[in-house]
């Protein structure tokens, strides 16, 4: 820096010129110039997929039996509910589903009362009435061959229609009985078994007194195909 009066070179901290005594005017410091910085390029962003419209999960089709659909085979059985609990059950096989028609004690009582009233109204005596009652229960399952599906389901709230599409596998074992003729009290029986394994993991177990016949095997084979495991 120099004196603006005589041109003498000045020291940075002098307030007066050493030659002429001129008062030095302070010089304002020049503003610092910021060093330009170059922004770093942002990392490339992965393209985000476009939002898709909501689609509800696909539910399996619900089987709707026709009102005039009737049974091709009816099997009287006992359904095992637990280790100590079971219920009488008529298994009604149709072309598109199998219906489990439970015969609970309340329904048995109501049916017996209805038949008793009919027997009493007909004027039949004790023995004929008893025979009529036995005949009714012996043929009880036959009604399902002509009863519409909706009427079967309406008999009891626990009655269930199982579409064949919901059944993964079917096991059938025929009832068998052997007799030792050398001893009238000797013999053995093998209870018939029926088991449905459903797609959701549930297994329905039943026992029955149906022996193996060619007709039974053919009927079940036509209904279930490769899903069926049949044992005589």
Q: Give the residue among 7, 27, 26 at the shortest CA–CA distance from 18.
A: 7
Q: Tens digit of pLDDT for each residue in 205-221?
A: 999 999 999 999 999 99
Long-range contacts, 132-136 (Cβ 8 Å, 24+): 136/111
Query: Is residue 38 pLDDT above 70, yes or no?
Result: no
Identify the pLDDT of residue 122.
87
- Average of per-residue pLDDT values in the chain: 83
Burial (Cβ within 10 Å: 0-12, 13-18, ≥19) of residue 196? buried
47 within domain boundaries? no
Structure-model confidence comparison of residues 60 and 231, the more confident one = 231
Give the pLDDT band of residue 31 (cuts 50, 70, 90): low
Per-residue confidence (pLDDT) for residue 189, from 0 to 100: 85
For residue 195, is it within any domain? yes
What is the rounded distance in angstroms from the CA atom of residue 162 to the CA atom of residue 149? 12
pLDDT of residue 65: 62
**Long-range contact pairs involving 78-84 (C-beta distance under 8 Å, separation at least 24):** 78/206, 78/207, 78/208, 79/204, 79/205, 79/206, 80/205, 80/206, 80/207
Counting the structural domains of the chain, the total is 1
Q: Does residue 51 fall inside a structural domain?
A: no
Enter the tokens of residue 167: 């059944």
Give the model's confidence band at 70: pLDDT under 50 very low, under 70 low, under 90 confident, else very high: confident
CB 136 within 8 A of CB 115: yes
Q: What is the mean pLDDT of residues 23-39?
A: 61
Rounded to an integer, the average pLDDT of 82-100 is: 93
Residue 60 has pLDDT above 50, yes or no: no
What is the pTM for the complete model shown? 0.66
- Could you list the residue range(s) of the whole structural domain that residue 130 is in? 73-231
Q: For residue 144, tell me if it sits in a domain.
A: yes
Map tokens 């099997």 to a residue: 75
> Which DSSP symbol is given to 40?
P
Look up the CATH number of the domain holding residue 214: 2.30.29.30
Range 98-120 average pLDDT: 92
Assess whether pLDDT exceeds 90 at residue 92.
Answer: yes
Assess if residue 79 is contained within a domain. yes
User: pLDDT, tens digit, for every residue of 128-165?
Assistant: 889 999 999 999 999 999 998 989 999 999 999 999 99
Report if residue 215 sits inside a domain: yes
Residue 25 lies in a domain: no
């Amino acid at each position: 820096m120099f004196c603006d009066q005589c041109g003498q070179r000045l020291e940075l901290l002098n307030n007066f010129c050493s030659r002429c005594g001129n008062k030095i005017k302070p010089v304002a410091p020049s503003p610092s110039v910021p060093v330009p910085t170059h922004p770093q390029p942002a990392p490339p962003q992965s393209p985000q997929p476009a939002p898709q419209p909501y689609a509800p999960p696909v539910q399996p089709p619900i089987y709707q039996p026709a009102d005039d659909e009737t049974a091709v085979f009816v099997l009287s059985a006992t359904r095992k509910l637990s280790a100590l609990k079971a219920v009488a059950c008529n298994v009604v096989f149709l072309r598109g589903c199998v219906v489990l028609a439970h015969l609970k004690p309340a329904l048995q009582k109501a049916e017996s009362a209805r038949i008793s009233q009919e027997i009493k109204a007909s004027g039949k005596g004790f023995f004929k009435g008893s025979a009529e009652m036995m005949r009714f229960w012996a043929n009880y399952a036959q009604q399902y061959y002509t009863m519409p599906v909706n009427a079967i389901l309406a008999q009891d709230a626990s009655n269930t229609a199982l579409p064949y599409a919901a059944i993964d596998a079917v096991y059938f074992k025929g009832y068998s009985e052997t007799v030792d003729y050398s001893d009238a009290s000797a013999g053995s029986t093998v209870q018939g078994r029926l088991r449905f394994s459903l797609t959701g993991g549930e297994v329905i177990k039943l026992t029955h007194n149906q022996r193996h016949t060619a007709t039974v095997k053919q009927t079940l084979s036509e209904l279930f195909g490769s899903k069926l495991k049949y044992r005589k």
